[in-house]
Amino acid sequence: MSMSTAATATLAVTKVDAPTIEYGKLSPILIIAGVAVVGVLIEAFLPRPARYRAQLTVALVGMIAAFGAVVWLARDLPDDHRGSVTAMGAVAVDGPSLFLQGTLLLIGIASVLLIGERRLEPAGGDAFAPQAAAAPGSQQEKDAAAAGWTQTEVYPLTMFSLVGMLLFPAANDLLMMFVALEILSLPLYLLCGLARRHRLLSQEAALKYFLLGAFSSAFFLFGVAMLYGYSGSVSLDKIGVASAGAMDNDALLLIGLAMVAVGLLFKVGAVPFHSWTPDVYQGAPTPITGFMAAATKVAAFGAMMRFFYVALPGMRWDWRPVMIGVAIVTMVAGAIIAITQTDVKRLLAYSSIAHAGFILTGMIAMSDAGVSSTMFYLVAYGFVTLGAFAVVTLVRDARGEATHLSHWAGLGRRSPLVAGVFALFLLAFAGIPLTSGFSGKFAVFQAAARGGAGSLVVVGVLCSAVAAFFYVRVIVLMFFSEPKVDGPTVVVPSVMTTAAIALGVAVTVVLGILPQPVLDLADKAALFVH
Amino acid sequence: MIFSVASYFVVAAIAPWLVRRLGRNAFLVLAALAVATTGWALTRATSVFDGRPVVESREWIPQQGVSLAFRCDALALLMVFLAAGVGVLVLVYCARYFAADEPGLGAFAGVLVAFAGAMIGLVTTDDLILLYVFWELTTVFSYLLIGHRSEHRGSRRAAMQALTMTTFGGLAMLVGLILLGQTAGTYLLSEILAAPPGGTLVTTAIVLILVGALAKAAIVPFGSWLPAAMAAPTPVSAYLHAAAMVKAGVYLVARLAPGFAELDPWRPIVLIAGCATLLLAGWRALREDDLKRVLAYGTVSQLGLLTAVTGAGNRDAALAGIAMLIAHALFKATLFLVVGVVDHAAGTRDLRRLSGLARTMPITCLAAVVAALSMAGLPPTVGFVAKEAVYEAFLHRGRTDTVVLGVLVAGSALTAAYSLRFVWGAFARKPGVPTTRCEPAGALLLGPALLLGAGCLALGLAAGALDHWISSYADLFPSTGSDYHLALWHGPGIALNLSAAAICVGVVLFLAREPVLRLQSATARIEPSRLYDALVRGVDRSALQLTGTTQRGSMPVYVGVILLSLIAIIAATALGNLPLPFPRSPRWSDSAAQLVVCLLVIGTTLIAAGTRGRLPAVLLVGVTGYGCATLFVLQGAPDLALTQGLVETVSVVVFLLVLRRLPRRFGDTTRPGRRVVHIVLGALTGAVLAGVAVSAFAARTRPPVSRAFAAAAEEAGGKEIVSVLLVDIRAWDTMGEIAVLAVAAIGVTSLIFVRRDRALPRLGDRAPDQPARGPRPVAAETLVPERRTVVFEMVARVVFPTVLVLSLYFLFSGHSTPGGGFAGGITAGLALLVRYLAGGRYELAEAAPLPAGRLLGAGLVIGAGTGLVGLIAGGSALRSTVIDGTLPPFGDVHIATSVFFDIGVYLLVVGLVQDVLSALGAELDRRIEQTRDQDAERTVIV
């Protein structure tokens, strides 16, 4: 038997160098990915009773460490605040990436605190189904609940989703962006279906989210193919160079742009790709809703800004009118439909749609001020949203969370503190001064006005007024109605939920009164690396 | 100034504590703060009125050009006097107005003080954004104050309405402020007014700001909220709705008028809105029976007057306007406080039930009469002085001003009428109404009203001083030449005649109150609050409709919207970029056979979309898959065709297994009309995307990447491109895919076997005492006779080893001929499938020697192991080496090490199929049998 060794079987004829990856620059992402994998191992090897503590500890420590890494990287940015690309140009480590990653990690920490809450269910357990695979109402489900099982897989799932979110705004090529999109989405689809109460609703939400999400991912991918066909590259920089010299006949570029944009707009919940939002927000377990509402928006807007600012700055005259239209429709529809909502979670969902429109307003400014104001808004909005959903988890009756608005009547009498905190969040949503909501709105509207999108500002403010109407209605309901006799009670949470809510309140107030430090930070971080 | 404004908020924070300690007397302590502010204002008065404003500034949000800038000029100082001075009296009044045990008094006190702070901040700030901040703060605080007695439904509605209106206005104003600031390049009011920018943008901005100001001042069409807000406690009405909050709107008009009154839309807006409000609300005040509501409509009416006059934009009007503003604050606050006293003493505010109070409450009556004189514009009060000035400012000018003057006089007549009505209603003895019993009011309750009433007189007498205070503001406007000055007595003239005329008409209107009331009920339809209700209802309804049409929770609708948007976007883009790239000479087909297959596939697709049965749908979809495989064959790619065909077979079978547990037909929930829409939408989407695909191929500029595949395969020592691609060129991808496959297999089965042992059932489990195996087929013992076909069982057993050998052949020959680990694995899986179909789940257990999990695991381990070996041996993971040699029974062999990787794939795929079969096949069988047994038992029992 004779042997001969063949050459390396790779496609290219010339030798390909192995990619050099600066692991240090990716450390926030890698830490969280590691945490997620450790989480899976915990599920596999630790006995059931020990998992909860272990998961919680690993997740929190990991996120804090990753946040530390973000800070370390941010300090390392050169003086002109320009970042660099790594992983062969696939990942950008620049101001916007780090700013948004830091935001995401803080939101992640608060979310995990909410997810880990175990004081609220009277029978014990958390907000998640004791055994997700058991059919709703089945004997298996009852057995699992009686045995006190919990689905501690939610922690690694959340962490995997967070990995995708951290990668999404940093992705500097379209394939990496797609991969990040899927990493962040798939665990979320699953998490949405895990609610302990109203399980069928939750499962329906998950299925809807999944199906529509799959659609939008397909569009995204199709669009990537078009852009690749146009420019011969999936790298945002190269697409940027190619599209800068775009001539008249560039349907391929425009259609690709449109399809990628559809995928991104779906994730931020902009009209007309918003329809999943209310159903999913309502059905998902509330801590997950909070996480999703806050973090997905941050990540997706980060990616969207990078896509438009790096890959298509030369095309702004083509996409800006369309995006202005989308922003207007989003604000109007979100604000108007929210008026009729009778469910708190759905109300917040529509408000999140309207807010997507406001954030788009900042993005469309197409300037550094646009980037920084959008990022500031994302921080402000993220914490308010998370806090609001955290409050929703506290108001409960025998059937779980009492999300119907009529149950909230007179809450201000019964628990002034909780109702007051919720009122603060609502005022922040409405953009009343001295809350973070006002600072954010002011920043994006100012940027838009400067960027010549005056019409958008006018519509935006009109919608704010309509939106203020329904926020105010809730406040009136809470403080100026008689409490119902059989109304819900406010459950006293553990220190974890309290901490998450306190964080929300603190950010809301501080960014309302002293926004300057964060504005400075966002301003310094507003340069995309090219 | 920053300090004094801030001190209000600090004191507000400790006010609840004070109230808890001191009870209602805490208001006296709080009043000290307002006294201090008034004192501060007094010390600055001389220099400010001489035209030297106090300026103070700190940085706040430098990035957005926002600073804590304060600037106290004559106008601001006068407003501070009003806010702080009236504030003192109202706070003192509060100390007796509220019962000692009033619930929520602490919070109320805090909010009232904070409101005063916000109001003082609003009038003294020089920064547009800070102005907006204070503006919204007054809104929010006023809302809390109005809603203080929140048990009443009326209170709640009022609070809601007030907040909605003023927030709406405030936000409109915000846009205006931003636009103005951006155009001017500064957010400092004083700088903007010093050099007012121009242009369309500025005009828009000013209109928006005016909307905000008018909404706050309760001017038509935003006026409806103020009367509704009268549900608030009386001191709140006196303070917010007479002296402070509503004046903020007028203040803003007065503040901007020097810079922007010359803009085109300015005068029409302020004059028309102001005059309309003056008349409508004045007329309405004649109908009210509640004293407070009389005053409320009176206030709205007066605010209309103030808006029109201060907005008129010339020196005399400005002088008159500010004088009127001060006069109004004094007399209206007095009257509100009087209503509170009356209400307190008599227990009602209904003028039909009050009678003879003039006798029992003479001092209160005196204060009210003085204030009413001022309101009606009679000498020697400040109201008279101001009204004379107002008439004078509109005399001797153009035609427009003459019309306005007419309206003002008419409005004054109405004012005189409701002033009379108020005094008569509150204090006169009415025939047929018993004299109202009342308790005496204390000094602290009466004092503020008296002091304010005295102010109406004193300022009237000191008209000269008033003139000096206002003149430095009025002089900001260009001089009119005549330069009117305020004085108590200008002597007879047109203005005096007009005053007299207005009073006379007012008296007539009052005396003719019965016919007026009848006329009123005829005009009652036009009521602003109904307008508001209708608006809210309309918004609610349209929102409901919008929700109903767009958000029905239906997936088809959601997907439809998304697809439609996509089509619209693509179509718009395409139409904007005609002509689209299109293949120059399109080749429709390579052969007739290809065309036939294509048509077959298309036809099947259409039928599949139309069919209602699940089974036919699955089979038809399967046919499209086989059609695709056929196309691959025709294209010369038997390897792809093989794989495609095998996969199609397995998926059809899996579908069929699952369908056993689903209804046979799709639900008929879709209406026929909607089906048509679905079909059209589907066809459109398909057509558009197909068009995009064709166009995209035509736009290609680079050679396809697959050109190099053949050479690469050769280099890797194989001939079969697909196999080489899988195990060599894209080995990493395959690695990832098989891992996903394993996970998917585990996922599917774990959903089916939630908490059951996943091992396949064996004969021994079923009947432990019988021998486990015998020569007879397993099915003989486990299947009901009707389901058995002995021939099939035997054939399956005979064919089984043969198919397995075939699968191994596919596995090992893959590098050079069609086949490969994946195809091999599926073939072996099909062999298992045949055994299962023939003999049921026990037969499957017989055929599968190893548990599926082990196969999956082994596959993964081998796949990953090959990669590692490559890494160790060749320096890079999954590196492949070719071994040539002779193996005696087979002859020459040509093996690439990548075949080991392929073995991993093979095992994994077999494991997958087995896993799916045991979950969706065997386990479902068991459950179906279980259900059937239970049904049978139930039937027996019945």
How much is the average pLDDT of B569-584? 77
Residues 673-702 of B with CB under 8 A from A: 689, 692, 695-696, 699-702
Using pLDDT thresholds of 50, 70 and 90, give the confidence band for residue B445. Answer: confident
B331-375 confidence digits (pLDDT tens): 999 999 999 888 888 888 888 888 888 888 888 999 999 999 999
Residue A15 lies in a domain: no
Output the average pLDDT for chain A.
88
User: pLDDT value at position B422?
Assistant: 92
How much is the average pLDDT of A518-527? 88
Nearest CA in chain B to A481: B151
DSSP class per residue in B521-576: HHHTT--HHHHHHHHHHHHHHHHHHHHHHH-S--HHHHHHHHHHHHHHHHHHHHHH
Nearest to A252 among B564, B699, B716 (CB): B699
Distance (Å) from the alpha carbon of B137 to chain A's nearest alpha carbon: 7
Contacts of B542 in chain A (CB under 8 A): 336
Residue A309 lies in a domain: yes
Nearest to A465 among B168, B201, B883 (CB): B168
* Range in A116-120, A496-500, B309-313, B343-347 with the lowest mean pLDDT: B343-347
User: pLDDT value at position B359?
Assistant: 85
When divided into structural domains, chain A yields a total of: 1
The answer on pLDDT for A105 being more than 60 is yes
Do A472 and B559 make contact, defined as CB atoms within 8 angstroms? no
Do A3 and B884 make contact, defined as CB atoms within 8 angstroms? yes
User: pLDDT value at position B767?
Assistant: 46
- Taking the C-alpha atoms of residue B29 and residue B21, their distance in angstroms, rounded to an integer, is 12
Please indicate if any CB of chain B lies within 8 Å of the CB of A21. no
User: pLDDT value at position A249?
Assistant: 53
The answer on pLDDT for B882 being more than 70 is no
Do A252 and B140 make contact, defined as CB atoms within 8 angstroms? no
Among B742, B712, B741, residue whose Cα is nearest residue B727: B712
Pair of tokens at residue B661 = 């547990």
B386-431 confidence digits (pLDDT tens): 999 999 888 877 888 889 999 999 999 999 999 999 999 888 888 8
Contacts of A215 in chain B (CB under 8 A): 559, 562
Using pLDDT thresholds of 50, 70 and 90, give the confidence band for residue B854. Answer: confident
User: pLDDT value at position A187?
Assistant: 95
Please indicate if any CB of chain A lies within 8 Å of the CB of B180. no
C-alpha angle A75/A81/A84, rounded to 5°?
A: 90
Nearest CA in chain A to B561: A272
C-alpha angle B245/B246/B251, rounded to 5°?
A: 90
Residue A241 lies in a domain: yes
**Residues above pLDDT 90, as percent of chain A:** 52
> Does the bond joining A156 to the residue before it have cis omega, within 30 degrees of 0?
no
Using pLDDT thresholds of 50, 70 and 90, give the confidence band for residue A57. Answer: very high
B491-514 confidence digits (pLDDT tens): 888 888 899 999 999 999 888 888
* Range in B283-292, B440-449, B668-677, B919-928 with the lowest mean pLDDT: B668-677
Q: How far is CA B718 from the centre of its chain?
A: 61
- Taking the C-alpha atoms of residue B806 and residue B642, their distance in angstroms, rounded to an integer, is 13
The answer on pLDDT for B789 being more than 80 is no
The DSSP H or E segment spanning A93 is strand A91-93
Q: What are phi and psi for residue B60, nearest 5 degrees?
A: -130, -70
Mutate to test the interface with A, among B173, B535, B562, B701 (most CBs of A within 10 A): B562
- Taking the C-alpha atoms of residue A312 and residue A254, their distance in angstroms, rounded to an integer, is 10
Nearest to A479 among B147, B550, B883 (CB): B147
Distance (Å) from the alpha carbon of A8 to chain B's nearest alpha carbon: 7
CA of A509: how far to CAs of A331, A416, B247, in Å? Answer: 25, 18, 29
Pair of tokens at residue B516 = 């007026």
Beta-bridge partners for B882: B896
User: pLDDT value at position B773?
Assistant: 47
Contacts of A131 in chain B (CB under 8 A): 754-755
Residue A140 lies in a domain: no
- Taking the C-alpha atoms of residue B194 and residue B476, their distance in angstroms, rounded to an integer, is 10
Nearest to B167 among A4, A5, A472 (CB): A472
Contacts of B164 in chain A (CB under 8 A): 468-469, 472
**Residues above pLDDT 70, as percent of chain A:** 95
Please indicate if any CB of chain B lies within 8 Å of the CB of A20. no
Whether the CB-CB separation of B288 and B297 falls below 8 Å is answered with yes
Nearest CA in chain B to A522: B63
Do A322 and B701 make contact, defined as CB atoms within 8 angstroms? no
Q: Which domain holds residue A347?
A: 21-122+151-524
Using pLDDT thresholds of 50, 70 and 90, give the confidence band for residue A294. Answer: very high
Pair of tokens at residue B756 = 């059951």
- Taking the C-alpha atoms of residue A233 and residue A384, their distance in angstroms, rounded to an integer, is 39
Nearest to A519 among B61, B204, B874 (CB): B61
The residues, ordered by sequence, that sit 6+ positions from B202 with a Cβ below 8 Å of its Cβ are B179, B180, B183, B196, B260, B263
Do B159 and A5 make contact, defined as CB atoms within 8 angstroms? no
Please indicate if any CB of chain A lies within 8 Å of the CB of B733. no
Output B427 or A80, whichever has higher pLDDT: B427
The answer on pLDDT for A170 being more than 90 is yes
Output the average pLDDT for chain B.
83
Please indicate if any CB of chain B lies within 8 Å of the CB of A175. no
Residue A264 lies in a domain: yes
A132-167 confidence digits (pLDDT tens): 888 888 888 888 888 888 889 999 999 999 999 999
**Residues above pLDDT 70, as percent of chain B:** 89
Q: How far is CA A452 from the centre of its chain?
A: 28
Do B159 and A466 make contact, defined as CB atoms within 8 angstroms? no
User: pLDDT value at position A425?
Assistant: 95
The answer on pLDDT for A176 being more than 50 is yes
DSSP class per residue in B256-296: HHHHHTTSTTHHHHHHHHHHHHHHHHHHHHTT--BHHHHHH
The answer on pLDDT for A64 being more than 60 is yes
Residue A217 lies in a domain: yes
The three-state secondary structure class of A400 is: strand
A394-453 confidence digits (pLDDT tens): 999 888 888 898 889 888 888 889 999 999 999 999 888 889 998 998 889 888 888 877
Nearest to A461 among B175, B557, B880 (CB): B175
- Taking the C-alpha atoms of residue B121 and residue A469, their distance in angstroms, rounded to an integer, is 26
Whether the CB-CB separation of A175 and A87 falls below 8 Å is answered with no
The pTM (predicted TM-score) of the whole model is: 0.84
Please indicate if any CB of chain B lies within 8 Å of the CB of A450. yes
Q: What are phi and psi for residue B321, nearest 5 degrees?
A: -60, -50
Whether the CB-CB separation of B607 and B620 falls below 8 Å is answered with yes
Do B717 and A9 make contact, defined as CB atoms within 8 angstroms? yes
The answer on pLDDT for A510 being more than 70 is yes
Pair of tokens at residue B725 = 């691609």
Contacts of A465 in chain B (CB under 8 A): 167-168, 171-172
Do A519 and B885 make contact, defined as CB atoms within 8 angstroms? no
Do A232 and B553 make contact, defined as CB atoms within 8 angstroms? no
Residue A143 lies in a domain: no
Output A11 or B795, whichever has higher pLDDT: B795
Distance (Å) from the alpha carbon of A473 to chain B's nearest alpha carbon: 7
Pair of tokens at residue A138 = 């089945």
Number of A/B CB contacts below 8 angstroms equals: 236
Please indicate if any CB of chain B lies within 8 Å of the CB of A217. no
Residue for token pair 């003719």: B512
Nearest to A476 among B160, B581, B728 (CB): B160
Contacts of A216 in chain B (CB under 8 A): 562
* Range in A195-209, A362-376, B470-484, B781-795 with the lowest mean pLDDT: B781-795
Residue A451 lies in a domain: yes
Residues 387-416 of A with CB under 8 A from B: none
Using pLDDT thresholds of 50, 70 and 90, give the confidence band for residue B781. Answer: low
Beta-bridge partners for B54: B72
Nearest to B565 among A273, A337, A466 (CB): A273
User: pLDDT value at position A167?
Assistant: 96
User: pLDDT value at position A9?
Assistant: 40
- Taking the C-alpha atoms of residue B714 and residue B614, their distance in angstroms, rounded to an integer, is 46
* Range in A229-238, B719-728, B874-883 with the lowest mean pLDDT: B874-883
Whether the CB-CB separation of A192 and A209 falls below 8 Å is answered with yes
Output A48 or B479, whichever has higher pLDDT: A48
How much is the average pLDDT of B824-838? 88
Nearest to B543 among A131, A337, A461 (CB): A337
Beta-bridge partners for A173: A235
Nearest to B178 among A135, A445, A469 (CB): A445
